[in-house]
Amino acid sequence: MRDYRNYSLLQHNTFGIDVRCDRFLEFESAEELQKIVLSLTKDDCPLLIIGGGSNLLLTGDFHGTVIHSSIKGTTCLPSDDPSVILLRCGSGETWDDIVELCVTNGWYGAENLSLIPGEVGASAVQNIGAYGVEIKDLIYQIEAIEIATGKHVEFSAADCQYGYRQSRFKQDWRDRYIITYVTYRLSTNFIAHLDYGNIRQTLSEQNIEHPTAWQLRQAIIDIRRNKLPDPEVEGNAGSFFMNPIVGKDKYLELARQYPSMPHYPVDDEHEKIPAGWMIDQCGWKGKSLGRAGVHDKQALVLVNRGGAKGEDIIHLCETIKKDVFDKFGIEIHPEVNIR
């Protein structure tokens, strides 16, 4: 267990915001976490539970206690179905390492989620998703420690009430539980999901019509690396905004004005419209506002041009939100956790 006071969070947020917390606690087992939560006092509050900091915007020094998991390791659990793999992963494992492990071993389902930054625990909080796949469809079980009691609890995916980039961990369970392990349900049967974004185009450029899981993973990695900035070079938290879901009437109204507008059906009554496309239409791609800016290849990504503070990113965020609403009549909301 690590326990530090007046600790810098610079290495714990991919935006590269240089702020500090009053106390930083890191645990390597569920037993260590139980001891931690039972020893917390009112002086430790408020609490901030973080993963890799890849979906986090810190707006200033955090006057409270930050808790981070360093639980590692993976285990295959028994399954009654030989085509099903139940993979139990420590919440401190890097998510993309898990995807690579799965593809290497012929355990399928997570390929489209390749190269998403962050850790296993955060995947279950955020309901990470990309290219037509969401983690909620792979989660079998979540283990956690209840902060108030130190008790070990288990949840199914249904218990978590997952939605688009949402879960009960982000809503009514916020600061109530800390995740220790996530078990994913994978398959030995590979089914390629290719009909989202430019996956087929990328594969076609490589003369691949029927990709293996490894080829699909590599195509996803190539797409992400081509359009997303490296946090080591330019601080960012990946996609800053969620793609809004609108009613059919609103979609049809906009489709008449913008016939080439990209969109993705959600159900019979709703369509998803890419926030990045709307931000681009407002002229923000590649532009800056002070030390904060919009990535020149993907307008959905806000970046730290160097030395930006959290308030600089927030100012840019609010300005973009207003421009999008003025032009399209749609409110867009941040995907990142702003603290």
Q: CA angle, corner 92, sides to 89 and 98, nearest 5? A: 45
- In this structure, which amino acid lies at residue 92? G
Is 335 in the active site?
Answer: yes
Contact 338, 318 (CB under 8 A): no
Active site residue 239: yes
How many angstroms separate the Cα of 79 from the Cα of each of 75, 86, 186? 12, 7, 11
Select which of 23, 143, 239, 271 is catalytic. Answer: 239
**Considering 165, 167, 185, 217, which one is annotated as catalytic?**
165
Name 129's bridge partners.
134
Handedness of CA 280, 268, 125, 225 (dihedral sign): negative
Report the 10 Å Cβ neighbour count for 224: 17
Catalytically annotated residue among 32, 93, 143, 335 = 335
The residue among 61, 77, 84 whose CA lies nearest residue 9 is 61
Alpha-carbon distance values, 210 to 37, 193, 217 (Å): 50, 11, 13
- CA 163, distance to chain mean position in Å, is 13
∠217-178-335 over CA atoms, to 5°?
55
Q: Indicate which residues carry an active-site annotation.
A: 165, 239, 335
